[in-house]
Structure 1
Amino acid sequence: MFFVVAFFVATIITTVSNEKHSLKYIYTAFSRHVELPGIHEFTAMGLLDNRMIDYYDSSTQKKIPKQDWMKEQLQQEYWDKGTQSRQSKQQWFKVNIDILINRMRQSSNDTHVLQWMHGCEGEEDTNGDLKFVRGVDTYNYDGNDFLSFDDEHQVWVAAADAALQTKRKWDEVTALKDYTKGYLEKECMEWMSSFLVYTKQQLKNVSPPEVFMFATPAKEKTNIVLTCFVTDFYPRDISLQIVRNGRVLSADDGLVTTRVRPNEDETFQIRNHVEILRTDSADYTCRVIHEGTSSVVEKTWDRPLPSEDETGDIIGVVVGVVLIVVCATLGIVLFKRKQAVKEKPSPSATAFISKCLSFLLRDFCFLFMKSLT
């Protein structure tokens, strides 16, 4: 049953252009405890443009921020109320997964999974206003589609015979359909718009990519490994090339890339390297294009060569020096980012709290109406 956990996550990983955005929440509940590391009886996560922004599980029993901008911008009351909402949903899932097990006459000794994904997708117009594109509200049981909401026609759609009973019941509750449609088309969009304001502020505070180019010994004493290391960039989309005398090297030239990897502070890094002769007198350059910050960086190798007698210990020293520089750079960037946030507090932070309080009251009413019986 392990593969089912990632079902909804896999369905939403799509290519998103600069003008399209999404806010979705995924809830996953197991019918009983699963003896697997990292798997909890209940988990909930929020994703903005497919990046996790908050998280909750049945072990910690606490909703926590997964992005710095959420932690810095939203007051503690927001997280307290969010925790209460997650806890109520955890109980809802526990009750309703038992309902489905009984309805389908399944064994409670087996492990079953109930998932719910809901949220909205929007697109920015030429004026920068976010317009609603579509809403998503769908349930999945044991890896199969179960029930979903047709936002346009405001009806529930059963994807399995076992869901027909719930569909008929929910279709008769006008308040439930109105609430679902209103959340997808309005409230979800309002939350997404507010979150995007914070992410754009974060982007303004991120410095251009840091680029390092250096040589280390190769196994063959006649060769060296030329490395281009790029770090501290966000978002992750980036172009990195090693250029020899004006020609871009490829895998056919022995170019090796690690592809993009995450740093600890939500920024990213990438590393390319190629093995060349020590006697190679060509000009080598790292060329980096990062559209997210409109950065184009070119770093030319200044040709310091490691000694032929150096061993792998030298590699550790060189990389260690680079990492010290990188860590120092990251520390400065993070300090500047926090200072910028402190100097420019968001006037809408308190509005989040009132919105959250009102949503929490409706959330309890919503869960009361929304039983799978």
Structure 2
Amino acid sequence: MYLFAVFVLLGTGLTVNSEIHSLMYIYTAFSKPVGLPGIHEFTAMGQMDGRMIDYYDSDVQRKVHKQDWMKERLPADYWEKGTQSRQSKQQWFKVNIDILKKRMNQTDDDRHVLQWMHGCEGETYGNNGHLKFVRGVDMYNYDGQDFLSFDDAHSVWVAAADIAVPTKRKWDDVQVLKEYTKGYLENECIDWLSKFRAYGEQQLEAASPPDVYMSAKKTRTKSNLMLSCLATGFYPKDIILNIKRNGRVLTKEDGLISSGVRPNEDDTYQRRDSVEILKSDIASFTCEVIHRASKMSVEKAWNHEFKDDENNMGMIGGIIGGVVVVVVLVVIAVVLVVLKKKGKFGSKESLNSDGTSSSGSDPAPPATVINIQDVAKPLLNDEEKEKGSKESVSSGDSGNSSDKGSAKSSDKSADGSNESLLKQQPEA
């Protein structure tokens, strides 16, 4: 789960003479409603360089744009097919959570969460800004634990837990699945990333300078204060923030702590650094913020005032609390896992052999054009195998099935799906 959070916060990184850009798609599903405002049973979204570009949830049930350039440059059928795809994936996740619960001998008393994330990173090269593939990401996570991921360098699936080993073996045997996944991560995803960056170039390149606030509050130690500097509302995410005492930059050795760069809900970023000091310290404390993209460089001084109210930074309003939806989902999922009485995958005794679901809705990677039945039968147990059905369930981005298809179909989606479904049925 924490690995997911790292990827969710992924944005534009700088190398010596180039930039790293990313396109990621994140799906999160709970086994039952959470009952908290803004937290949906199913959520899917796309992010480019840390900015949300499209969104879908189980309440709205429509794929919608989150950037104006997405609406302007992509045709209506892109959103219609995307809506159908995510409605299909919503059902896919529901079926597969139920299968995983049964596989792991879990009850309905606890709330479970299944996540899938895939996408790519590309590095710009040359004066024309072309992107070169750096790495791909395709990974599954269940109840806060890494489950399965794809190693595109070696074209193999990697099981992160014993419970995922049968799935890894089964999916490794489906050559077309590996070829399609590798092809999407290394080629199609990079093509879409390049296309999206070209579509939104003007908006993406527009830099926003940060607002800078410096304040202090009481700590549990009566003689001390927590001094904080907040920079918020900036884009892109690269920023330098230093708290200084009499001109000397404070570090971790001085007790400095940092939130790191985090997303706001308006596609900008924030960072807060803090250090505990003595109330009696009369030294000069300043906060230096440098945001090169917006050509901003400022150093603000603390006036040695503080408030009794621990929420003394409330003057900033909702800026601090605004976090992109997927980060909230990650945090909630972590909390739910911690609160669960049975938060692990279970003992090895619960490991079952592969089989087929009576509904035919066996788990399969929704990133591919493979039929849902094709590759995840190992997640099921022997009892379900005896009830196996040949009913076909589509996993294509459009939510529609077809008799024959190819991974080379021209009707492709940015998140790696297309309308064509391969009907090969490997032995269970």
Q: TM-score interval w.r.t. the shorter chain? A: 0.5 to 0.7
Q: What does residue 349 of structure 1 align with?
A: none
Q: What does residue 319 of structure 2 align with?
A: none
How far off is 1:88 after superposition?
A: 1.2
Q: Is 1:131 equivalent to 2:127 in the alignment?
A: no
Between 1:232-241 and 1:137-146, the stretch displaced more is 232-241
Q: What does residue 92 of structure 1 align with?
A: 92
Aligned residues: 313
Structure-2 separation of matches of 1:141 and 1:177:
22
Q: Is 1:359 equivalent to 2:355 in the alignment?
A: no
Structure-2 separation of matches of 1:130 and 1:182:
16
Q: What does residue 83 of structure 2 align with?
A: 83
CA contact (8 A) 2:207 2:293 kept: no
Q: What does residue 149 of structure 1 align with?
A: 150
Structure-2 separation of matches of 1:53 and 1:194:
13
How far off is 1:142 after superposition?
A: 0.9
How far off is 1:368 after superposition?
A: 7.7
Structure-1 separation of matches of 2:48 and 2:179:
24
Instruction: Give the TM-score normalised by the residue count of structure 1.
Output: 0.62
How far off is 1:91 after superposition?
A: 1.3
Q: What does residue 5 of structure 2 align with?
A: 9
Instruction: Give the TM-score normalised by the residue count of structure 2.
Output: 0.55
CA contact (8 A) 2:197 2:204 kept: no
Output the amino acid matched with 1:358.
D
Output the amino acid matched with 2:4.
F
How far off is 1:190 after superposition?
A: 0.8
CA contact (8 A) 2:238 2:291 kept: yes
CA contact (8 A) 1:176 1:370 kept: no
Q: Deviations over 1:51-102 (max 9, x none)?
A: 2222111111011222333233333332222111111111111111111112
How far off is 1:119 after superposition?
A: 0.7
Structure-2 separation of matches of 1:146 and 1:249:
42
How far off is 1:163 after superposition?
A: 1.4
Q: Is 1:176 equivalent to 2:148 in the alignment?
A: no
Output the amino acid matched with 1:116.
W
Q: What does residue 31 of structure 2 align with?
A: 31
Q: Is 1:69 equivalent to 2:65 in the alignment?
A: no
CA contact (8 A) 2:261 2:270 kept: yes
Q: Deviations over 1:315-348 (max 9, x none)?
A: xxxxxxxxxxxxxxxxxxxxxxxxxxxxxxxxxx
Q: What does residue 168 of structure 2 align with?
A: 167
Distance change in 2, residues 1:163/1:236 (3 Å):
closer
Distance change in 2, residues 1:122/1:356 (3 Å):
same
Structure-2 separation of matches of 1:147 and 1:189:
23
Structure-2 separation of matches of 1:170 and 1:190:
26
Distance change in 2, residues 1:137/1:48 (3 Å):
same
Distance change in 2, residues 1:368/1:97 (3 Å):
farther
Structure-2 separation of matches of 1:370 and 1:33:
34
Alignment of 1:88-237 (within 5 A): 88-127=88-127, 128-204=129-205, 234-237=235-238
SS at match of 2:111: coil
Q: CA RMSD in A?
A: 5.2
SS at match of 1:196: helix
Q: Deviations over 1:194-250 (max 9, x none)?
A: 122234321455687899xxxxxxxxxxxxxxxxx999753244568999xxx8999
Greater C-alpha Rg: 1
SS at match of 1:179: helix
Q: What does residue 49 of structure 2 align with?
A: 49
Distance change in 2, residues 1:115/1:241 (3 Å):
closer
Output the amino acid matched with 2:106.
Q
Structure-2 separation of matches of 1:126 and 1:170:
38
Distance change in 2, residues 1:364/1:93 (3 Å):
farther
Distance change in 2, residues 1:15/1:195 (3 Å):
closer
How far off is 1:176 after superposition?
A: 1.0
CA contact (8 A) 1:26 1:116 kept: yes
How far off is 1:27 after superposition?
A: 0.8
Output the amino acid matched with 2:62.
K
Alignment of 1:192-341 (within 5 A): 192-204=193-205, 234-238=235-239, 266=267, 289-293=290-294, 295-296=295-296
How far off is 1:26 after superposition?
A: 1.0
How far off is 1:139 after superposition?
A: 0.7
How far off is 1:108 after superposition?
A: 2.9
Structure-2 separation of matches of 1:153 and 1:114:
25
Where structure 1 has 5 or more consecutive residues not aligned to the other structure, the ranges are: 212-228, 251-257, 272-285, 300-354
Distance change in 2, residues 1:364/1:96 (3 Å):
farther
Q: Deviations over 1:143-180 (max 9, x none)?
A: 11111111111111112222122222212211111111
How far off is 1:193 after superposition?
A: 0.9
Output the amino acid matched with 1:235.
P
CA contact (8 A) 2:51 2:267 kept: no
Distance change in 2, residues 1:233/1:107 (3 Å):
closer
CA contact (8 A) 1:260 1:268 kept: yes
Structure-2 separation of matches of 1:370 and 1:46:
31
Structure-2 separation of matches of 1:204 and 1:36:
36
